[in-house]
């Protein structure tokens, strides 16, 4: 199906979207045997480094497919933390008011948020993207306003419990922003891109997308988000159920982009484009947590080959996330009981990917180290 044909208006965004979809190719796995042979010849019992070996193989296949050789490469690495507001916040689905979105963007630019600390610790670049924050007065006097990329499509979405969150045109524009960010990263030599987000009420939008795309029941996967009580979680699930009912004509089998416009957020749409764009440019994609995985699902529904380039950073403490990961048959790198978002899980997972790449690139083989290997079984 021609997804771009379903977008009304925004011709430049539509063209970028369609060109991106057509350029995403499945991973060339022809080098799998050669990479596996190298892994098995390293000075260790075969398979003894477990998941690290699986990650190294995956990284090496992406590198080979991108024409960078068989050596897996991770750096430079960058996280894009995309921010936007959500109209559904008016339904009381978050403990925090909407203005916290812009306040947290200011905190990012001031260097004081968790994502700042963790990216500094991991030596990962950070960019903050305003794709739909309702206010834009968060840069005055902050230490690093240059970190901010102003890409606002519109100042937040509408309340999707009353109708579509945004038009298909605005959704396409937000997706195009993400695709352009991926191009920017690739053009600047970045090899690994992590996803991050900020937006009050965006767990509500993410949950609605899971329900629509994967057929999940709201009451099964709706979680506490910012710390809701059990009663508040039930209310949140009711709001999501109402949104699904109000927007029933946009649900599958409607095109995935139409569903994203009705139930998503501008930052989720931007991350969807970022994932699609990174797959087109053959970059390693590190998907953060609950909300970022919703963007991944949207991208995957639009173009299934994005799965070949994705690594899932961590299993969120949002109770629905493990249900979703199981459905996707995806195994996260870490499980630390986190549920913050911002890209914090991606910042922690990227050093694990570096270790996997270094293991394959730098360990000696049995023959070069004059170590006797185990006899063949």
Q: Which sign does the torsion angle of CA 66, 3, 329, 186 carry? A: positive
d(CA 184, CA 144): 20
Host H or E run for residue 62: helix 51-65
What is the separation, in whole angstroms, between the first and last Cα of the chain?
49
Active site residue 342: yes
d(CA 54, CA 134): 42
d(CA 226, CA 237): 14
Taking the mean position of all CA atoms in its chain, how far away is CA 71? 25
What does 100-145 look like in DSSP terms, one character per residue?
Answer: HHHHHHHHHHHT-SHHHHHHHHHT-EEEEEEEE-S-----TT-TTG
Give me 192's structure tokens: 């690994």
d(CA 128, CA 218): 30
Q: Which sign does the torsion angle of CA 324, 328, 329, 332 carry? A: negative
Give me 42's structure tokens: 């390293």
Catalytic option among 168, 267, 318, 342: 342
d(CA 124, CA 279): 20
Q: Could you tell me which residues are beta bridge partners of residue 128?
A: 81, 148
Q: How many CB atoms lie within 10 A of CB 298?
A: 29
Strand bridging mode 125-132 / 192-198: unpaired
Q: Closest Cα to residue 135, out of 90, 199, 80?
A: 199
Q: At what angle do helices 344-362 and 51-65 cross, to 10 degrees?
A: 80
List the catalytic residues.
342
């Amino acid at each position: 199906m021609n997804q771009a044909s379903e977008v009304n208006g925004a011709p430049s965004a539509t063209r970028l979207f369609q060109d991106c979809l057509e350029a995403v190719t499945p991973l060339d796995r022809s080098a799998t045997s050669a990479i596996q042979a190298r892994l098995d010849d390293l000075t260790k019992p075969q398979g003894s480094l477990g998941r690290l070996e699986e990650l190294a193989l995956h990284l090496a296949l992406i590198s080979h497919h991108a024409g960078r050789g068989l050596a897996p490469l991770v750096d430079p690495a960058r996280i894009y933390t995309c921010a936007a507001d959500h109209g559904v916040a008016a339904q009381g689905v978050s403990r925090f008011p909407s203005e916290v979105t812009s306040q947290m963007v200011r905190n990012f630019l001031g260097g004081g948020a968790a994502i700042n600390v963790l990216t500094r610790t991991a030596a990962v670049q950070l960019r903050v993207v305003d794709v739909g924050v309702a206010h834009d007065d968060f840069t005055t006097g902050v230490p690093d306003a240059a970190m901010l990329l102003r890409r606002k499509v519109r100042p937040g979405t509408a309340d999707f419990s009353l109708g579509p969150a945004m038009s298909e045109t605005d959704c396409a524009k937000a997706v195009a922003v993400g695709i352009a960010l991926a191009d920017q990263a690739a053009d600047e030599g970045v090899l690994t891109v992590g996803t991050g987000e900020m937006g009050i009420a965006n767990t509500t939008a993410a949950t609605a997308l899971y329900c629509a795309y994967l057929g999940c029941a709201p009451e099964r996967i709706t979680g506490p988000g910012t710390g809701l009580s059990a009663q508040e979680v039930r209310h949140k699930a009711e709001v999501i159920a109402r949104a699904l009912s109000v927007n029933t004509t946009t649900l599958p089998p409607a095109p995935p982009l139409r569903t994203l416009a009705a139930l998503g957020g501008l930052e989720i749409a931007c991350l969807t484009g970022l994932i699609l764009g990174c797959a087109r440019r053959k970059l390693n994609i590190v998907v953060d947590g609950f909300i970022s995985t919703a963007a991944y699902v949207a991208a995957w529904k639009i173009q299934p080959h994005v799965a070949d380039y994705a690594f899932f950073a961590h299993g969120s403490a949002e109770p629905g996330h493990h249900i979703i990961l199981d459905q996707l048959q995806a195994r996260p790198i870490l499980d630390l009981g986190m549920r913050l978002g911002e890209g914090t899980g991606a910042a922690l997972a990227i050093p694990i990917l570096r270790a996997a790449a270094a293991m394959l690139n730098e360990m000696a083989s049995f023959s070069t180290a004059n170590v006797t290997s185990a006899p063949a079984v």
